[in-house]
Amino acid sequence: MSKHYKFLTKEFSDLWITRFRQLHDSAKKNKIYKEYHLKWILSPDCLEQHVKEFPWIKTIPLFDYTKESLVFFRLNGKSGEDNHFDVHKDPFDAWANLNIPVYNCTKETKTTWVEPIGEEIAQYEERMGSKIVAGQTNSNHLKSPYREIDSCSIVDRCVLFRGDVWHRVMLTIKKIRHVSWPKFGIEELIWSS
């Protein structure tokens, strides 16, 4: 069993994947999200509008829609800039993240956990994917050489994964295709192997 991720049950996954697809489609149709490079953010004010159509938002495990944001990440295989997230640790000390595969999540999209080789050199940057973008998420990025220690593809099951360990996401397919998945941090959860 991995120390970095845990796939959740089929029953849980089927329920939440269906719900988040509906939320994604409604957000897209009604344009109720804040768009940034490679992501849509559904902030509490956006979620307040969505909760009228989707009251189940109030029941998302370990998530307070009135105080927290939900992020739909959107990688695109058409370019080398929009097809990956560089090696980083997630912000806000997220010990565990819940990722839900919504659209086009295939084995060609892989999350890989890494560890530095030798001295760890890191730098906080406002960035998204491979771009430094002012006003984006300020996250910690690994600058030193590293080796891969674990990986998984999130295809048809929800997964809890470690965001406090160095990791990257890469979409290896070269087609014009958006891969969408929501993610939110669960700071209250203590990760155990």
169 pLDDT band, cuts 50/70/90, is confident
Residue 44's pLDDT is 94
* Exposure letters 93-125 (e unless 16+ CB within 10 A, then b): ebbbbbbbbbbbbbebbbbbbbebeeeeeeeeb
Residue 147's pLDDT is 96
Domain that holds residue 53: 5-186
Q: How far is residue 87's CA from residue 129's CA, in Å, rounded to a whole number?
A: 9
Q: What type of residue is 189?
A: L
Q: How far is residue 172's CA from residue 108's CA, in Å, rounded to a whole number?
A: 5
Q: pLDDT tens digit string along 49-72?
A: 999 999 999 998 778 899 888 888
Given a cut of 80, is residue 96 above it in pLDDT? no
Q: Is residue 30 part of a domain?
A: yes
Q: What type of residue is 3?
A: K
Q: Is residue 132 part of a domain?
A: yes
Residue 88's pLDDT is 80
Q: Is residue 59 part of a domain?
A: yes
Residue 54 has phi, psi (to 5 degrees) of: -125, 80
Q: What type of residue is 188?
A: E
CATH number of the domain that 21 lies in? 2.60.120
Q: pLDDT tens digit string along 97-146?
A: 888 888 888 887 888 899 999 999 888 766 655 556 666 666 777 889 99
Residue 193's pLDDT is 47
Q: Is residue 64 part of a domain?
A: yes
Q: Is residue 56 part of a domain?
A: yes
Domain count of the chain? 1
Averaged pLDDT, 145-161: 91
Which helix (H) or strand (E) is 170 found in, with range?
Answer: strand 167-171
Neighbours of 135 (CB within 10 A): 9
Neighbours of 67 (CB within 10 A): 8
Residue 97: strand, helix, or coil: strand
Q: Is residue 157 part of a domain?
A: yes
Residue 142's pLDDT is 83
Residue 20 has phi, psi (to 5 degrees) of: -75, -25
Given a cut of 60, is residue 40 above it in pLDDT? yes
Q: Across the chain, what does the average pLDDT equal? A: 80
Q: How far is residue 70's CA from residue 168's CA, in Å, rounded to a whole number?
A: 20
Q: Is residue 192 part of a domain?
A: no
Q: Is residue 82 part of a domain?
A: yes
